[in-house]
Structure 1
């Protein structure tokens, strides 16, 4: 059956190959690039009308496929849902995952809404994940990619049933090598193009510099403390630090290497400790989004990960409120970080995701 699909195209090999595969299946496609952020869109209302990075590659691929291609201005929703919440979280001593938020509210929120209003049925992306309809429950299940080294189900765990029912992930069963091979055989211009940065709006990884530029604020220095409250030195502003961090502290200790254990906006301090003190076995989380079920009626054995690049670990999860959970790992985990997403798995199936609370 031919579907009318909007393909989110970034100019990279993944989304381009996804578009090519869908065209081979006979679908009616349109390519859409989201203009979400550029170097000038910081600190106030200054606009920059330059095209987004990768637009020429995406346009070239769309031209080769013979499909229409549009650049959709998504700067307003990206600012409100991603940039504003990202900077606010750091100011509160949290470490958010902006990709999770962007997928939920921009790529599968704003873009999906625009696609449906323009007569499209679905949105497709180059994410490495799989979808499956559970005929018994009628629920759409989000599953890990067939090749775990490229699995991106973690950053999709905020999607709801309506979003999943309208989504397509053509690359879910493929490896990166297979995707590049398909792109090369199809003579796509970006077959050998490198992978993009995880956080598109901070390509140099300097979060503190970006936050200062975006907000126009200065963040005062304060004390580095040890676990007993003794002052070890001075930090450069709490937005420069996240749990588990070792580099850039500028503090030495006779007790060995020091790491960030806690960021305290209430008194503008940063607590440092040895590595062993970073481990914990429990967490609480809010903003729960369950995908595989409506509710966890009793404590359940699952596996969970608290960062994108880690293997999920065995745990017990109890739902404690309409959108809150308590989770206990079998083994202590390093630097469980408030603001990050915790994603729950039952085998290859994503049970749901939530945001770790302090």
Structure 2
């Protein structure tokens, strides 16, 4: 069976918003960015979110639909000289209508490199589309953000990934005319692949390609657990994602949303941070529930002690108990405000 040298994810890169999967609220028929572009307006934009969610693809689609001269830079390899070279195009005949600069991984540019763009963004000679996997409010210079619209790209849900995986499987079969006949239960396999992609379409497509190659064209016959573990959501303890999850847990409880509270609790626990979850739940019991239901702190403490004694995976039960209790309890932050005063 012959194999294409270009990775499947690259071969399937969408050429239009209609081919994209996920990010419906941004690029769907009534999506925010799509409506802005349909009006003929192209603002400076910063895209942020985890890998494999469509940031680069969206930027390339926007660039192709623009009437501006396009320059692409990757901040991991570009230097200040590269930035100045791109800006210099604005004074040429080809750049007289302005240039569209797509800057990937902008978080790797230092303050001086980012500042170089400001004057040109201000007067419209440069339209910037930047992407980052990090929190832009920590890594992108405030003056750049002030001149840009910031859009968050969310992890892609498994059911949203299915069309891309179906197209990928069809393309792999077209490369090998002698491939086995499709199975009736293939959608079940594709859903499992999408789930293990953990919101990353590229990861899911790479997994599909590996399964297809290893199984001789019959991915349903392969043991997927040998190629990919159960997905563990990103929660880098040294970065901001770890604290974002803890904050999301607290805000879900504060907003009396038990479903969201258990969801974020699960992400924290599956990332391996049992102590962080235990500590945050006990803080929430006094900070957000407090005097509205004083026994919540007692029950939460008991659940957390039980979780530490049980360890994972059984610790999920008492901690879910605590999270649902706190989310559905009345709220009072008077104790917190009294000390802060």
TM-score where L is the length of structure 2: 0.26
- Flag the structure with larger Rg: 2
TM-score where L is the length of structure 1: 0.25
Structure holding more strand per residue: 1
